[in-house]
A and B are shown apart, each in its own frame.
Chain A
Amino acid sequence: KAGVTQTPRYLIKTRGQQVTLSCSPISGHRSVSWYQQTPGQGLQFLFEYFSETQRNKGNFPGRFSGRQFSNSRSEMNVSTLELGDSALYLCASSFGGSVEETQYFGPGTRLLVL
């Protein structure tokens, strides 16, 4: 079974631009969660989607948004990029997204904002 895939793997943007990252979950998984990893803040939860609905959201500004499609693939968008948005963005999937389930992570997208 293929794992979680994320595209692109690397991205360089400039301040003020916007970016869209994509995540394809493991086949059969309907929950997708997104995390931001930075050296200063560590791994932080962004949001979680299930059946095209956002069910949970972390403490991030509205510039961070996401969506999920009917095939469970998910995208996250960051508008008006800031230098501090430079990070590794990780996507994880699980079958139903409930608290006891293990989340399986993709390789991440490394975003550099100049």
Chain B
Amino acid sequence: AQKVTQAQTEISVVEKEDVTLDCVYETRDTTYYLFWYKQPPSGELVFLIRRNSFDEQNEISGRYSWNFQKSTSSFNFTITASQVVDSAVYFCALSELLSGNTGKLIFGQGTTLQVKP
């Protein structure tokens, strides 16, 4: 069955430290998509990145980078030089063709990141 695991419940770092958020997924499908969302205290989920199962290239966007490894079923997220504004709950999510070609995201439990000044 499909599943997303974010083993880190809470992480606390001091500003300017680098931090990596882990995400491990399970799926029987060969076609699937992985997402990262950020949820600030206001509650809205903010989209960060989407990656498909056929593209294992790592991606960098400013201070954010993502490492996708199919061999270990992981899609980790690194924030370089963290800032207080990065404090939020981060969710990793999976969508797969086997679940029906419709909008159904399977979320991990989320990682709460606290960046202290």
Give Cα A92 to B104, complex, Å: 10
- By size class, the interface of chain B is 20 to 34
Question: Which single member of A33, A90, A104, A105 contacts B104 (CB below 8 Å)?
Answer: A33
Q: Report if B33 contacts A (CB, 8 A).
A: yes
Contact B104 A48 (CB under 8 A): yes
| A interface residues, how many (CB within 8 angstroms) | 29
How many angstroms from the CA of A103 to the CA of B91 in the assembled complex? 13
- A88-108: contact bitstring with B at CB < 8 Å (1 yes, 0 no)? 101010100111111111111
Interfacial residues, chain B to chain A (CB-CB below 8 A)? 31-33, 35, 37, 42-47, 50, 52, 91, 93, 95-97, 99-110
Give 14 pairs: A residue, B residue, CB < 8 Å, sorted on A.
A33-B103, A42-B107, A43-B105, A43-B110, A48-B103, A56-B99, A88-B43, A92-B103, A92-B105, A99-B100, A100-B52, A103-B47, A105-B44, A107-B43
Residues of A within 8 A of B (CB): 31, 33, 35, 42-45, 48, 50, 55-56, 58, 88, 90, 92, 94, 97-108, 110
